[in-house]
Chains A and B, each alone.
Chain A
Amino acid sequence: QVHLVQSGAEVKKPGASVKVSCKASGYSFTGYYLHWVRQAPGQGLEWMGLINPNKGGSTVAQKFQDRVSLTRDTFIDTAYMELSGLRSDDAALYYCTRDQGGATFDSWGQGTLVTVSS
């Protein structure tokens, strides 16, 4: 079955960068877009961006356009989300999720907790 396994929790200082990985298994990695979603403490889900694992193209929410980079490695079926210039309000649980098409996020990673602290 479909599995998305994310990298472990991270603790970063303000201004640093964090790179979260999402390893896919159980399906054709290049056949489905992968999205990144975050949830800050006490807040709702927030869409950050998507990557087309087949061609590598990505779309990032306007809010994150100058700070988020989405990449993938098709040899190891893994997608990456790198967030730079970390601020305290970037502390959140970050998820990757597979899109069946049309905002149908049918499988989710377990989440990666990012803590930002000096």
Chain B
Amino acid sequence: QSALTQPASVSGSPGQSITLSCTGTSSDVGGYNFVSWYQHHPDKAPKLIIFEVNNRPSGVSDRFSGSKSGITASLTISGLQAEDEADYYCSSYRRSDTYVFGSGTKVTVL
């Protein structure tokens, strides 16, 4: 069971927008609208920031937005801030009651 493909790292300057990709297959990302995104700071538990492709939990900044096209989901962080520096993981349902995470993207704020 291979992980969803994410770029290893993405960087941007404060105030910029960056987009993280998450590529799967028709059996996961492309087949279901059950894609979520997590922000993971070291020594903390992952935090849900986007669910069901493009929905934000209450309390999550509207600078985070999600989308999907075909087998690729995307997370956009606008107005990049220093506190956004973290690892980001996508996750998807993958048929037969199984799930999969992405390989993770390290976001660096320059």
Interface residues of A (CB under 8 A from B): 35, 37, 44-47, 50, 59, 61-63, 95, 97, 100, 102-106, 108-111
CB closest residue in chain B, given A62: B1
Please give the distance in Å from B30's CB to the nearest CB on chain A: 14
B52 touches A44 (CB 8 A): no
Most interface-central of B48, B52, B92 (chain A CB within 10 A) = B48
B46 touches A100 (CB 8 A): no
Interface residues of B (CB under 8 A from A): 1, 3, 32-36, 38, 40, 45-48, 51-52, 57, 87, 89, 91-93, 96-104
B89 touches A105 (CB 8 A): no
Contact A95 to B45, CB < 8 A, known contacts A44-B89, A46-B101? yes
A45 touches B40 (CB 8 A): yes
Please give the distance in Å from B87's CB to the nearest CB on chain A: 8
Contact A47 to B48, CB < 8 A, known contacts A61-B1, A103-B36, A103-B91? no
A45 touches B104 (CB 8 A): yes
Please give the distance in Å from B36's CB to the nearest CB on chain A: 5
A44 touches B103 (CB 8 A): yes
Cα–Cα, bound, A72→B16 (Å): 46
Of A44, A61, A105, A108, the residue contacting B36 (CB under 8 A) is A105
Contact A47 to B89, CB < 8 A, known contacts A100-B51, A104-B52? no
Contact A109 to B100, CB < 8 A, known contacts A63-B1, A100-B51, A104-B36? no
Cα–Cα, bound, A111→B44 (Å): 9
Cα–Cα, bound, A62→B100 (Å): 12
Cα–Cα, bound, A47→B34 (Å): 15
Top 9 A-B residue pairs of the complex, sorted by shortest distance between their CB atoms:
A102-B34, A108-B45, A44-B104, A104-B51, A45-B101, A59-B97, A103-B34, A47-B99, A103-B93
CB closest residue in chain B, given A44: B104
Give the residues in chain A near B101, CB-CB below 8 Å: 37, 44-47
Cα–Cα, bound, A16→B31 (Å): 39
> Would you give 16 A-B contacts (Cβ < 8 Å), ordered by A?
A35-B99, A37-B101, A44-B89, A44-B101, A44-B103, A47-B91, A59-B96, A61-B98, A63-B1, A95-B45, A100-B51, A102-B34, A102-B93, A103-B34, A103-B91, A105-B38
